[in-house]
Amino acid sequence: MAQNRLRTIQSLINGRLQESQRRVVEEYPLRMRVNGRDLATLVCSPQKLNFLLAGFFRLQGFIESLDDILSMGICDDYGLAEVRLRGDIPTDLRPILTSGCGTGISFNLPVSLLTENKQHYRSYSSAGLLRLTRDLRGLAEKYRDHGGIHSAAIGDEDGLLLYAEDIGRHNTLDRLAGEAMFRQIDLRGKMLVTSGRVSTEMVAKAARLGIGLIASRTSPTDRAIELSEQAGITLIGYLRGRNLEIYSHHEQFTFVDSEERIPGVSGVILAGGESRRMGSDKSLLPIQGARFIDHVYARLSGLFDEVIIVTNSPELYRELPCRKVPDLYYAQGALAGVHSGLVHARTDKIFVAACDMPFIKGEVVRAICAQADQGDLVIPYSQTGHEPLHALYSKSCLPAMERVLDAGQQRIMRFFNQVRLTEIPAEELTSLDPLGESFQNINTPEDYFRLRSARSSHIDSGECQQQR
């Protein structure tokens, strides 16, 4: 998050002067010395400068990967970045100071890039864009607090992947590009949502990253529209609430009346567990450009008004805009996690998902929740047996759960015979999820690599079929 300072100011309110405190944005000049020569000075916000620099070099075409950065040292006291790059920096660079907050800098971004990197046809939906916008709004608290800070996010139909904020709108995109490089996230075909105006250099940078859709709360410039047309980018302006205006490649954008969220149910993600067999926290493992828990949150946030993460380490998920609650029965397994989710939920029922099940299907979740009035616990039965970490629980289960937990028992199925149980046979869900991806999870490194390999093969196969 961007840094800000508390200042004492004089406010004129109703004709009277009074002293008050206000947080103001910190403006930080960062001088770049690259390969022994002064290159430029970025005016930016002072956090995560490694992402900003890497993204700046990437979007100026100075580097292709992190391997091209031989060394990078940043002196906060003097505002100096000393960088060694593998390649030579051209001697005839002519910096262009671009329009907008933070005075963005561009070095001869070639127009030819727009045709070289022209996107293949892609499809985007209003539901996916509005979901990404909602996620960005939830994170941009500081922008609402004191103004002067621009925010931007990159994501896909499932939700947000990357988020950045800075005093300069151009800097936010550089930060996103740099973080994507560090996290090895492929941005081709993704959506970019920004709080600032979209100008030509923003489109050129997005084209270099392969982004297929740009959306802003404000207007694009005329040249930005022209360049978006050339680059095959869908450009959207005045995105406010459910209203928007499309300026280029409207054929790639589909208006979808997204299904209503499931009423009376909260989504609960279990992020606890010791992951003994895995050897590391399963929720943080990467797959398809994001962590496991990011995929689970993106899906549940589109289905439920309230999403809760049950965790004893909330700092790991601070960027996810939802409540994080601890176990009330500490270290007593998944049953304690379900119990905590039920106690803290504002609704009478919760749908529980484990953090290591990243391929949840909305249709399957809806089918399970549709039988909410059939029992205290509605649970699917897959080929491997009951799926208690992909099930619907009512608060009426709490007394039975607490009796089991008080007895020191941790097995989640121990209380099943004390409540009204409704089972959903596997064959009822097969038509909604033929591959059974909803219930895929991991417990060992071997499981993880098998899952990654299977998903890669599935995606490659799908792309080949589309090309045919």
Catalytic residue among 101, 322, 355, 369: 101
Q: Whole-angstrom Cα distance, residue 285 to residue 397?
A: 32
What are the two backbone dihedrals, phi and then psi, of residue 427, each rounded to the nearest 5 degrees?
A: -65, -25
Q: Whole-angstrom Cα distance, residue 131 to residue 159?
A: 6
Residue that the structure tokens 């956090």 belong to: 47
Return the SS3 of 146: helix
Query: What DSSP element (H or E) covers 395?
Result: none
Cα 461 to the center of its chain, rounded Å:
26
Nearest of 41, 72, 36, 35 to residue 54 by alpha carbon: 72
Query: What DSSP element (H or E) covers 343?
Result: helix 333-344
DSSP 280: S
101 is annotated as an active-site residue: yes
Q: Whole-angstrom Cα distance, residue 8 to residue 6?
A: 7
Q: Whole-angstrom Cα distance, residue 357 to residue 364?
A: 13
Q: Where are the alpha helices (DSSP H) in 104-185?
A: 112-116, 126-139, 141-146, 169-183
Query: Would you name the residues annotated as active-site residues?
Result: 101
